[in-house]
Amino acid sequence: NLFFILMLSLPFGGIAQEVTAENPAIIPQPAEIEWKEGVFTLPEKTVVCYNSEAKASAAWLQQLLKNTNSESFSMEGEDCLGFSLVIDESLEESLGKEGYKLNVSNDKVELEAATENGMFYAIQTLRQMFPAEIETGKISEEIKLKQVAITDVPKYEWRGSMIDISRSFFGPEYIKKHIDRMAFYKLNRLHLHLTDDQGWRIEIKQLPKLTEVGSKGAVKGGRSGFLTQDEYKEIQEYAAARNIIIIPEIDMPGHNYSALMAYPELNCDEFANLTPARATPPELYHEYNVGWSKFCLENPETYDFVATVLGEMAEITEGPWLHIGGDEIEDPLYEEFMVKADSIVRGLGKTTIGWEEATKAEVDSSFISQRWHGEVESVVDVKVIESICSSFYFDHANVEGQESTNNWCKEDGVTLKNVYDFKSDNPNVLGVEAPVWTEMVLSDSALDDRFWPRSIAMAEVGWSKTENREYKDFLNRLGKHGERLDRMKVNYYRTPEVNWN
Ligand code: TNX
């Protein structure tokens, strides 16, 4: 095992010489990392000491140590045996809100950060230094960690992942599993595409038909269902403990047939132009076409509906953002709608995010544009999230010819290298985010295959300095994560480019 050090006793009795194996694979690559010659041997008894700010963080470390041979407990103060955790807000100047320092020396492991979030990441890095067995059970052998000095800060503040739970429903169990995996790779934003033509997936108490009627559909072969507000809040809390903020998307004014089914008065023309609605009575939609359904924008009641939905979403959402979609729709009143919807969101005390088309309208300068094709000439100077489809549309094939993929943006698929090579020259960039649309992703294992390992490449794009990134070196480190991903039960696409361990 690469994580262990082979100890050779010299024949003439005396000092043991350490022959070090390869360094453990840390992903994403830290800003500064210096491996040392020696090791830290985990003692049979450890005392994790922490200052009062780091109390909750100590519990995370404890969770890791319980799978080792060391008997461990934690306490506030400075009587440490092996591990010390310090959270000190004055470190924010050098480490930011998410950075950390991790020092493994001869007799101790020291973790420092300005916030619980930074400390959480220090622990994730440490976790990657332990043998992969730690993911699944107790290791009974003695554990040696390589000595190292790490100072780490992220490149971008936005390192996101998006699940389309509308086309095909993925519930709390999958979402939490995804949050765990994201957190391990220091991803910090989870965008949930909650509504689309095929299904409405979030309970709105004042508009019960949205879920009574609108949640019943899905693409052919996909699951239906919805999140109750309580489930949504629980997911949000689970995510927050792992430094992940949930961004809910209510896609408007198009992509909303499921809402039109529930409340037909939101249509201008009683479904006359809507493809599936030609059936009487109208049926839920199970196909893949986009760009055909929309709210009646002349109708003032449409705005009541929008205000009610966004009002409830703002109430249950802890994060500062609401995503209002805005993609793929033609309407003479489109721009006016986006401006009004943006102001409704701001009135609720949140910041608006929308797909890049929205910036054809004079939205507020606080608006955040999520770029997917990168072709819209924005009329406002706003911050952007890069989700450029040729690099980050993970519904696309991992490799040319992969089954059950629609590769409209890039015929030969979005390869690991396409992801890794992404660079933004946009001065307003907040970071990166990869969506998986689920028109053709019907099972948990298929969704895993689309997310992994491409999300790991994106995590490094989002976290690591450009000058610290090198594709061959990344592939090498990624290969060493194979066993760990197996143990975490991730059904990742085993790209032949990587020598998986
Ligand atoms: C475009 S990207 C869409 C989605 C589809 C996706 C399929 C965007 C804002 N809209 O509605 O699911 O392509 O790749």
pLDDT at 291: 86
pLDDT at residue 16 is higher than 60: no
pLDDT at 272: 55
> What is d(CA 92, CA 114) in angstroms, rounded to the nearest whole number?
5
Q: In what side-by-side order are the strands of the sheet with 82-87?
A: 32-41, 144-152, 100-104, 109-113, 82-87, 45-50, 71-76
pLDDT tens column, 490-500: 999 999 999 99
pLDDT at residue 292 is higher than 60: yes
> What is d(CA 130, CA 39) in angstroms, rounded to the nearest whole number?
12
pLDDT at residue 18 is higher than 80: no
> What is d(CA 437, CA 58) in angstroms, rounded to the nearest whole number?
37
Pinpoint the residues of the chain covered by CATH 3.20.20.80: 159-386+416-440+457-468
Pinpoint the residues of the chain covered by CATH 3.30.379.10: 6-152
Q: Which of 476, 475, 463 has its CA nearest to residue 152? A: 463
Which is the closest atom of ligand 1 to the Cα of 406? Answer: 14
For Cα atoms 166, 436, 181, give the angle at the middle one, nearest 5 degrees. Answer: 105
pLDDT at 453: 98
Among 328, 360, 404, 450, residue to substitute to test ligand 1 (most atoms within 8 Å of Cβ):
328
Contact 295, 340 (CB under 8 A): no
pLDDT at residue 10 is higher than 60: no
Contact 320, 351 (CB under 8 A): yes
pLDDT at residue 5 is higher than 70: no
Give me the percent of the chain exceeding a pLDDT of 90. Answer: 90
Q: Are strands 321-325 and 351-355 parallel, antiparallel or unpaired?
A: parallel
pLDDT at residue 501 is higher than 90: no
Q: Which of 5-9, 158-162, 376-380 has the lowest mean pLDDT?
A: 5-9
Q: Token digits for 387?
A: 């989700």
User: Is the beta carbon of 393 within 6 A of some atom in ligand 1?
Assistant: yes
> What is d(CA 484, CA 492) in angstroms, rounded to the nearest whole number?
11
pLDDT at 4: 42
Mean pLDDT of 322-329: 97
Which is the closest atom of ligand 1 to the Cα of 435? Answer: 2
pLDDT at residue 275 is higher than 60: no
> What is d(CA 358, CA 383) in angstroms, rounded to the nearest whole number?
13
User: Is the beta carbon of 327 within 6 A of some atom in ligand 1?
Assistant: yes
From atom 10 of ligand 1, which residue's Cα is the shortest distance away?
Answer: 327
- Three-class secondary structure of residue 262 per DSSP: helix
Please tell me the distance between residue 437's alpha carbon and the centre of ligand 1 in angstroms.
7
Domain 159-386+416-440+457-468 fold: TIM Barrel (3.20.20)
Provide CB contacts within 8 A for 348, sequence distance 6+. Answer: 310, 311, 314, 322
pLDDT at residue 462 is higher than 70: yes
The phi, psi pair for 23, rounded to 5°, reads -70, 145
Establish how many alpha carbons lie within 13 A of residue 276's alpha carbon, considering only the half-sphere containing its beta carbon.
20
**What are the residue numbers of the active site?**
328
pLDDT at 276: 59
For 367-394, what is the HEC assignment?
Answer: CEEEECCCCCCCCCCCEEEECCHHHHCC
Which is the closest atom of ligand 1 to the Cα of 328? Answer: 10
pLDDT at 274: 62
pLDDT at 3: 43
Contact 460, 479 (CB under 8 A): no
pLDDT tens column, 50-72: 999 999 999 999 999 999 999 99
User: Is the beta carbon of 156 within 6 A of some atom in ligand 1?
Assistant: no
User: Is the beta carbon of 249 within 6 A of some atom in ligand 1?
Assistant: no
Classify residue 269 by its DSSP letter.
Answer: S
Domain 6-152 fold: Chitobiase; domain 2 (3.30.379)
User: Is the beta carbon of 331 within 6 A of some atom in ligand 1?
Assistant: no
pLDDT at residue 282 is higher than 80: no
Which is the closest atom of ligand 1 to the Cα of 255? Answer: 11
> What is d(CA 468, CA 461) in angstroms, rounded to the nearest whole number?
10
ipTM: 0.91
pLDDT tens column, 405-456: 999 999 999 999 999 999 999 999 999 999 999 999 999 999 999 999 999 9
From atom 9 of ligand 1, which residue's Cα is the shortest distance away?
Answer: 327
pLDDT tens column, 75-101: 999 999 999 999 999 999 999 999 999
**In the structure, what pLDDT confidence band is assigned to residue 281 with cuts at 50, 70 and 90?**
low
Q: Residue 208: is the preceding peptide bond cis (ω within 30°)?
A: no
From atom 13 of ligand 1, which residue's Cα is the shortest distance away?
Answer: 437
For tokens 């519990």, name the residue: 59
Mean pLDDT of 179-191: 99
**In the structure, what pLDDT confidence band is assigned to residue 19 with cuts at 50, 70 and 90?**
very low
Q: Are strands 16-19 and 158-164 parallel, antiparallel or unpaired?
A: unpaired
Q: Which of 3-12, 104-113, 149-158, 265-274 has the lowest mean pLDDT?
A: 3-12
pLDDT at residue 36 is higher than 50: yes
pLDDT tens column, 116-134: 999 999 999 999 999 999 9
User: Is the beta carbon of 328 within 6 A of some atom in ligand 1?
Assistant: yes
Classify residue 78 by its DSSP letter.
Answer: S
Q: Which of 144, 150, 124 has its CA nearest to residue 57? A: 124
**Cα–Cα distances in Å, from 344 out to 52, 313, 321, 458?**
41, 12, 12, 33
Terminal-residue alpha carbon distance, the chain: 10
pLDDT at 277: 52
User: Is the beta carbon of 437 within 6 A of some atom in ligand 1?
Assistant: yes
Mean pLDDT computed over every residue of the chain: 93
The phi, psi pair for 493, rounded to 5°, reads -75, 115
Please indicate, yes or no, whether the overall pTM of this predicted structure exceeds 0.80.
Answer: yes
pLDDT at residue 270 is higher than 70: no
> What is d(CA 388, CA 482) in angstroms, rounded to the nearest whole number?
27
pLDDT at residue 209 is higher than 90: yes
